Amino acid sequence: MEYYVKSIVPIIESKYNSFTHVEKNIADFFLNNEQKMDFSAQNVAQMIFVSEASLSRFAKKCGFHGYREFIYQYEQSFVEKSETVADSTRMVLNTYQELLNKTYSLMNEAQIAQIVRYMYGADRVVVCGKGSSGLAASEMENRFMRIGVDIDSLQDTDRMRMQAVFLNKRSMVCGFSISGETEEVLYLLKEAHRREAQTILFTANDKESYADFCTEVVLVASTKHLNYGNVISPQYPFLVMMDIIYNNYVTHEKYKKADLYDDTLRVLKSKSSGQYLN
């Protein structure tokens, strides 16, 4: 069974904050719509009181050549949602499934491969974030450290500012910020870029200004527009994308990375049993 369908909904969500008032009105219509109908430019324009030209500009801002291409993709991925939820468990599972579908729609395989190449070429990797994003950064350090990556995670503001001094063209910096507006994360990315390091921002918001200091912007799924988004950990979209990158990274040198991971397990087991390796 095929679980994943390419959807343009997460694309609309990622660009939502950059839309004009009219464009947000159009975005709200497509984000909240739950029924199939006549999606022709003429009909939609009349329904939401905008011009057909505004629909065309909106579609182009979402990355499509025009409204016709936009609506074709929208109809392909459109699925009617049930108004009722059987129970709380099903509600949570359905929300996670929707986030996975969004991740699939946003994922760029070529971009993931490029990030892995940056990581292989870096002497040192720094990952940063605040709050729940900082916890995701810590998890990334734990995962990649065990397969031989020289990686450090930062959550403290002062440490982020101080570590910027030691970055260079052989460094790679990853910043986690759902909003894309975390001051400390953006500061480190900008300073790293100034020192010619590779800079990767993981965020749910897409802004043109990121191109000024980010080598790559990785869009992650947002819970903002989900009916039950408040029950889902905000770390989850980061962790899913991190696992995708991790899998691509270990695949390059599968057996060597597996040996390193097994070695870390042996060390931990020997310590717990009171024995130490020579």
Could you give phi then psi for residue 195, rounded to 5 degrees?
Answer: -95, 15
**Do residues 131 and 172 share a domain?**
yes
Q: From CA 71, how far away is CA 224, in angstroms rounded? A: 23
* Cα dist from 228 to 32, 69, 83, 232, 248, whole Å: 14, 30, 13, 8, 31
**Is residue 224's pLDDT more than 60?**
yes
**Do residues 38 and 166 share a domain?**
no
**Do residues 140 and 206 share a domain?**
yes
Q: From CA 159, how far away is CA 175, in angstroms rounded? A: 14
Q: How many CB atoms lie within 10 A of CB 66?
A: 13
Q: How confident is the model at residue 255 (pLDDT cuts 50, 70, 90)?
A: very low
* Residue 111 · residue 148 · CB < 8 Å: no
**Do residues 74 and 127 share a domain?**
no
- The predicted model gives 120-135 an average pLDDT of 94
Please give the pLDDT value at position 222. 81
- Whether 91 is covered by a domain: the verdict is no
* Domain membership of residue 200 as a residue range: 104-268
List, in order, residues 6 or more apart from 137 with CB less than 8 Å away: 127, 128, 129, 153, 154, 155, 174, 176
Average pLDDT value for the chain: 85
* Cα dist from 135 to 114, 142, 156, 230, whole Å: 24, 11, 12, 18
Dmax (CA) of the chain? 77
**Do residues 108 and 168 share a domain?**
yes
- Whether 99 is covered by a domain: the verdict is no
Please give the pLDDT value at position 2. 45
**Do residues 108 and 229 share a domain?**
yes
**Is residue 129's pLDDT more than 90?**
yes
pLDDT tens column, 10-49: 899 899 999 999 999 999 999 998 788 899 999 999 999 9
- Whether 275 is covered by a domain: the verdict is no
**Is residue 242's pLDDT more than 80?**
yes
Please give the pLDDT value at position 7. 77
**Do residues 74 and 199 share a domain?**
no
Please give the pLDDT value at position 121. 94
- The predicted model gives 232-239 an average pLDDT of 84
* Residue 213 · residue 199 · CB < 8 Å: yes
- Whether 241 is covered by a domain: the verdict is yes
CATH number at residue 34: 1.10.10.10
- The predicted model gives 239-262 an average pLDDT of 76
User: What is the 8-class DSSP label of residue 108?
Assistant: -
Domain count, the chain: 2
- Whether 45 is covered by a domain: the verdict is yes
